Structure 1
């Protein structure tokens, strides 16, 4: 049983296990306790024959999840030794990998705002539902951080250079573009969600989806593929900005100006992480890489400064260090990918000597994930 104030509400309704992220005043931002609670519920339901489907939703009217509790990460990076954040990410990334290969249908209702860590607990699922209210983003470069929770894996496989555009700018996308980019599968109008949820308690997932799914509304990215693919195919952030400015499309020029407000270090590390993620292949390998990058970010001044400017003081004027792309050297980028030795996440290799959660199943392959 769960109480009304628990950060994750758990219940079974018919054949469905329901996970409800329940911090609506914080837009359901994930903390460590929530990650552990979700993981424990998945363990129980995986071995419960009465539970045939898992369904993830968010409490409140604003959205599924605005991301991880970045304020706590900021405080840990500024005042602590980073261990609490590293432990949180270790469990969170293992949960992301587990969701991707969960043996039962995992249905994520990506209604409203879904960002950062919210993408991690939804977009790796087997059945990902968006609505006309969906606003999905990986906005990490705006706080001096780098897309994580498997975000570089997902965005690295988006058509053309769409994922690079979304990762570097942090742009929000709606339902149509989420489906186009491979972050979602099905469009269901928000007015149909209560009935859809009720039917998941009794019907096979495929049948419930078929009753409510509609063609997604037209997005914006397909029409922008020309300038996005041409500009973001460049090998450096500096060249991407130059191409965006020179292209002539007003949207390209706007994207260039957006990039110049982001952390220069985070931009360069993000581009490198995406290019490496494409070569790595499996979600596990990418999450191992993201863990290295995230831990390195704890010692970067831009993470603390970015969260201060955007979330703590809200002055929206971060003072990045280094302040320009030209000042970020190759060695500054490479240090984010330095192996961690005994502190590795270890999802793709030998078990970690300090596992926070057990590893499960073989490397991720979306073609093999449950599509009921």
Structure 2
């Protein structure tokens, strides 16, 4: 259950009253489950109190009724104070003491041993909310109360009115049934919230991974993503022997555009440039922003001639695409290189980079596959 400020049903609303927006998922889950257990047992205690009184055991009925009042007061105090540690301790103490006090009032183990199922919630809660050492301490307290009960058992039997076998059996079945129902509810909410927390974590991790691999301005893959994809394509090239080419391109006179119109317009130009390039590629091609106004395109299953042809089509498309709202005529220069066997991504990109600057040296707005840049 996620704290959202609004809930689809009254139970979710009640269980989330102690949850704060800043709570991490694990703490939120603990608060919800502890509220569920406490509310469930306090509600059942009202039922048991009325039932004991109706069957002729007024003292035994007063104990769960009193427990219910104190337990609900503890829950409401938690909702106001948000003191979760105090809430956990008070509820564990109440849950541990209630079954023993009820058993003693019924005359010891003969009439009241069935209520012991509720006492197990104390060490179980400590195991879930705290740690193994805390659960061990609460279990020792449970054993100590059992020993005290065994010592007092003969004396307690002499004080209480014997319970009819049929009624004792009925109480046994009802205690076990209600106990297992409450445990099932706890497990349901635990699994439900855990699954939701895992899904949220997966979504967060996917979002972080997407942010790490995406250029925030253009929405295109960034340099980190390019490096990963380039290595994947090299593996595929080696495995199947297919050609692989790489294009490098940028906007001609981009600095002039920035100086004349401002960086905000420059950003819009880069976004439009990236969108235009992406629109002219195949689904198997990969476009990434390399840095500044430079973009890289990976072309699987494309040799040098195919790469040059594609680059030429992209160049013409860029030149014919206006920048909406501005009198700007974009042109672009392309460098093309076919990746050679044994060549690293850095070496292939370097050759494409030299070819692109050769295109600029020759007058811009053209495609080049020459990587001899000695004269540049």
Report the TM-score, using the length of structure 1 for normalisation. 0.23
Question: Highest relative contact order (Cα 8 Å, sep 6+), 1 or 2?
Answer: 1
Structure with the higher fraction of residues in helix conformation: 2
Q: Between Structure 1 and Structure 2, whose CA radius of gyration is higher?
A: 2
Report the TM-score, using the length of structure 2 for normalisation. 0.23
